Amino acid sequence: MAGHASNQIDASTLWGGKVSPFSTSYGKLMMWFFLVSDALTFGGLLIAYGYTRHDAQDAWPIGEETFNSLPFLGHGYPLIYVALMTFILIVSSVTMVLAVEAGHRMDKKGVIKWMIATIIGGFFFVGSQAWEWSHFIHGSEFGKVELADGSQAIVKGHFGEIKNFEVLEAGKHHKKGDVITEDLMHQFQHAVVAGKINNGIITLHDGSKAKVNKAADEHMELIIKKDGSVNKIGTHIEGKKACDMYYEAINAGTPRKVIYGANLEENEYGPQQYGQFFFFITGFHGFHVFSGVMINIIICLGVVSGTYHKRGHYEMVEKTGLYWHFVDLVWVFVFTFFYLV
Amino acid sequence: MLRDDVIEYSLDTHHSEEQGKAIRKKIWMVTALLTAITIVEVALGAFIKQSSGAWPFVKWSFIIMTLLKAGYIVMVFMHLGDEKKSLKYVILVPYFLFMAYLIYIALMEATAVGNAWETYGG
């Protein structure tokens, strides 16, 4: 705030030019320079994302279709979860700026209180991101399906629960008449990908054949994401027709008709690059949040032990604060360009 | 080596209890504003489909709201608004110039590549 003119400074403590042209300390200035370079990195990543998306047009997934789940509550809540994550990060940014403000008043207790709140907020955000990743990797119950005409569709709706597998033909482990009730979804998806479901009969790992008892799906909707000979990108197919087309593909008995979730080679949401960008951009940001929390913990310990109080000012808190706000700033852009637009 | 953060400039940023009150009030105002903008963004994103005619406006309003949020975070939370003018411009001007340039060439190139795929197939 106040320039150097109002404050006599010992020349030996000034940097080479005898006076800082910006009236800030070397440390704070370097933190700003680091943040600018980091912002260039994130800017580059997001622009690369924009480039790929601009090029791919309609095949690209839409945020509110991809991210519409909440922990414990299931589907049908578009963007609520990411909005919650955004809110957590904004609040932790606020507690950080309050810690910096307390530092300017040399209020040690206040600094500790608000820094602990910031650290808790940071952990909440990292935890939320872990859930989000896990959900993204495991994917939906329906998966992305390749239809009879070669087009690919994502599926919305409520997946009817699988109740059990009733063994019709004995294999190595299961006897005829056994009713299997464990690990159903996992086995079902494996069988779908391997093409081991034929007209409602599943072939299990041990070679036994079983009937799938499953509740009916509700509100099914297919959204075409890749052109086929009949269905074109962007088409929505609803109701019974959607259900028939989906099960026609699943029950065909040939492998690799369906993709569940995401990995580095393929994903059910859209083009392959979409998964890569998701993992890289949110992962790189998540790593920044994680290191931010670690730095905050270290500085908080410094505050508790009184290091900065003895020094006469809490500029270290201000510098970590800059980094923490920057993490929030990046998320504001990731939120817009990855989830909203 | 003498540490430059031990004395000098850092002391200039101290403020009194009373000034603190005003600053905290400003912080809470900005918090309310950022939260409100986020709620509006989510509501628009959840209720207006990308296929609807209003989407181009929604898209641009997202970008404007994002820049507004970013501006408040940088100027108030990161205190760049309180720094000297020279520092403000050293941080902001090169960044925006470079980003504007990069966005321009990336979108031009993406359009050209998209057209090439359309024309020659793939």
pLDDT tens column, B19-64:
889 999 999 999 999 999 999 998 888 888 777 888 888 989 999 9
Q: Which residue has the higher pLDDT, A215 or A68?
A: A215
Inspect the interface and report whether the beta carbons of B10 and A339 lie closer than 8 Å: no
Radius of gyration, alpha carbons of chain A = 27
Residues 6+ apart with CB under 8 A from A146: A152, A249, A256, A257, A258
Residues B58 and B73 in one domain: yes
A170 Cβ partners below 8 Å, 6+ apart? A176, A208
Same domain? For A153 and A135 the reply is: no
- CB contact at 8 A, A40 and B95: yes
Residues B66 and B104 grouped into a single domain: no
Q: Tell me which residues of chain A, numbers 285 to 314, contact chain B at a CB-CB cutoff of 8 Å.
A: 311-313
Separation CA A41–CA B93 (nearest Å)? 17
Contact A294, A259 (CB under 8 A): no
| Reported ipTM exceeds the 0.90 cut | no
| One domain for residues A118 and A171 | no
Does residue A193 or residue B9 have the better pLDDT? A193
| Residue A57 token pair | 């047009």
**Do A242 and A188 fall into the same domain?**
yes
Q: Which of A6, A9, A14, A22 to mutate to test the interface with B (most CBs of B within 10 A)?
A: A22
Cross-chain Cβ contact A22/B87 below 8 Å: yes
| Among the ranges given (A120-124, A252-256, A327-331, B112-116), the one the predictor scored with the smallest mean pLDDT | A252-256
Residue of B nearest to A39 (CA): B95
Q: Can you give the pLDDT at residue A13?
A: 54
pLDDT at A88: 93
Residues B76, B94, single domain; the answer is no
A313 contact residues in B (CB cutoff 8 A): 10-11, 13-14
Mutate to test the interface with A, among B4, B9, B30, B87 (most CBs of A within 10 A): B9
Nearest CB to B66: which of A12, A326, A333?
A333
pLDDT of residue A221: 85
Residues B54 and B74 in one domain: yes
CA distances from B77 to A32, A93, A95, B27 (A): 14, 8, 10, 8
- The stretch A261-290 carries a mean pLDDT of 91
Q: Tell me the pLDDT band of A4, cut-offs 50, 70 and 90.
A: very low
For residue B106, which of A36, A326, A337 has the smallest C-alpha distance?
A337
d(CA A139, CA A340): 20
Q: Is A271 within 8 Å of A54 (Cβ atoms)?
A: no
The owner of tokens 């340039």 is B101
Question: For residue A329, what are the domain limits?
Answer: 25-139+273-340
Residues A112 and A210 in one domain: no
Same domain, A281 and A328: yes
Give a yes or no: residue A96 inside a domain: yes
Mean pLDDT of all residues in A269-279: 89
Model confidence band, residue B7 (pLDDT cutoffs 50, 70, 90): very low
Q: Which residues of B88-110 are buried (b: 16+ CB within 10 A; e: fewer)?
A: bebbeeebeeebeebeeebeeeb
Chain A with chain B: Cβ pairs closer than 8 A: 194
Per CB-CB distance under 8 Å, the chain A contacts of B38 are 83, 86-87, 90
Terminal C-alpha separation, chain A: 38
- For residue B7, tell me if it sits in a domain: no
Domain boundary among A260, A282, A305: A260
By C-alpha distance, the chain B residue nearest A333 is B66
Same domain for B55 and B95? no
Closest by CA position to A103, among listed B73, B2, B10, B26:
B10
What is the number of domains present in chain A?
2
Answer whether A90 sits within 8 Å of B38, measured CB to CB.
yes
Instruction: Tell me whether residue A18 is in a domain.
Output: no
C-alpha to C-alpha distance for A221 and A237, rounded to whole angstroms: 6
Same domain for A333 and A293: yes
- Same structural domain for residues A113 and A149? no
- Of A106-120, A159-173, A204-218, the range with the highest mean pLDDT is A106-120
Residue at A241 is within a domain:
yes
Of A271, A251, A341, which Cα lies nearest the Cα of A55? Answer: A271
From chain A residues 11-70, the ones with a CB under 8 A of any chain B CB are 12-15, 20-29, 32, 36, 39-40, 43-44, 47-48, 50-52, 54-57, 62-64
Q: What local confidence, expressed as pLDDT, does residue A11 receive?
A: 52
Indicate whether B68 and B89 sit together in one domain.
no
**B42 and B21 both lie in a single domain:** yes
DSSP string spanning B56-110? HHHHHHHHHHHHHHHHHIIIIIS-GGGS-HHHHHHHHHHHHHHHHHHHHHHHHHH
Beta bridge partners of A223: A154, A236
pLDDT for B1 equals 45
In 3D space, the residue among B19, B33, B2, B93 whose CA is nearest the CA of residue A93 turns out to be B33
- Using alpha carbons, list the distances in angstroms from residue A132 to A78, A120, A129: 13, 18, 5
d(CA A296, CA A239): 52
Query: Is A301 among the domain residues?
Result: yes
Domain boundary among the residues A237, A260, A283 is at A260
For residues B65 and B102, membership in a common domain is answered with: no
Q: Do residues A99 and A35 both lie within one domain?
A: yes
Residue contact B62–A340, C-beta within 8 A: yes
| Contact status, residue A262 vs residue A318, Cβ threshold 8 Å | no
A42-46, A236-240, B31-35: least confidently modelled range: A236-240
pLDDT score recorded for residue B6: 45
Local confidence band at A169 (pLDDT 50, 70, 90 cut-offs): confident
Give the position of tokens 């024309």.
B119
Q: Is residue A153 a contact partner of residue A145, using CB atoms and an 8 Å limit?
A: yes
Q: Considering only CB atoms, which chain A residues are within 8 Å of B101?
A: none
Residue B72, domain member (yes or no): yes
In a domain, A63, yes or no: yes
Q: Do A329 and B7 touch (CB under 8 A)?
A: no
Q: Are A333 and A46 in contact (CB under 8 A)?
A: yes
Q: For residue A7, is pLDDT > 60? A: no
Fill in the amino acid letter for A240. K
Q: B117 and B67 in one domain? A: no
Mean pLDDT of A15-36: 79
Helix axes A315-334, B55-72, angle to 10 degrees: 180
User: Cβ(A95)–Cβ(A262) under 8 Å?
Assistant: no
Q: Is residue B68 part of a domain?
A: yes
User: Which residues of chain A make contact with B28, given a CB cutoff of 8 A?
Assistant: 94
Note whether B73 and B112 are same-domain residues.
Answer: no
Domain range holding B48?
Answer: 16-82
**B1 in contact with chain A, both atoms CB, cutoff 8 A:** no
* Cβ–Cβ below 8 Å for B106 and A51: yes
Task: Among A260, A291, A308, identify where a domain stops.
Answer: A260
- Claim to verify: residue A223 and residue A125 sit in the same structural domain: no
The tokens describing B71, both together, are 């501006």
Is residue B2 pLDDT above 60, yes or no? no
Residues B73-106 pLDDT 10s: 999 999 898 888 889 999 999 999 999 999 999 9
Q: Which residue has the higher pLDDT, A178 or A34?
A: A34
Same domain, A108 and A170: no
Q: What is the pLDDT of residue B70?
A: 94
Using the predicted structure, report yes or no on whether residue A335 has a pLDDT greater than 80: yes
* Whether residue B89 is found in the same domain as residue B78: no
Taking CA–CA distances from A315, the nearest residue in chain B reads B10
Number of domains in chain B: 2
Asked if residue A160 is part of any domain, the answer here is: yes
Say yes or no: B88 and B66 in one domain.
no
Q: How confident is the model at residue A152 (pLDDT cuts 50, 70, 90)?
A: confident
* A13 lies in some domain: no
Looking at residue A290, which CATH number applies to its domain?
1.20.120.80
Strands ordered across the beta sheet of A218-226: A236-238, A218-226, A152-158, A144-146, A258-259
Q: Which residue has the higher pLDDT, A6 or A41?
A: A41
**Within-domain flag for B99:** yes
Report pLDDT for A233.
80
Q: Which of A21, A87, A326 sits opposite B38 (nearest CB)?
A: A87
Residue numbers of B between 44 and 73 with CB closer than 8 Å to A: 44-46, 50-51, 59, 62-63, 65-66, 69-70, 73
Q: Shortest CA distance to A303 belongs to which of A28, A311, A98, B7?
A: A311
Say whether A332 and B94 touch across the interface (CB within 8 A): no
Q: Assess if residue B53 is contained within a domain.
A: yes
Q: Confirm whether B28 is domain-assigned.
A: yes
Same domain, A159 and A181: yes
Strand locations in chain A, DSSP E?
Answer: 144-146, 152-158, 162-169, 179-180, 197-198, 201-203, 209-214, 218-226, 236-238, 258-259
Stated pTM of the model: 0.85
Do both A131 and A152 map to the same domain?
no
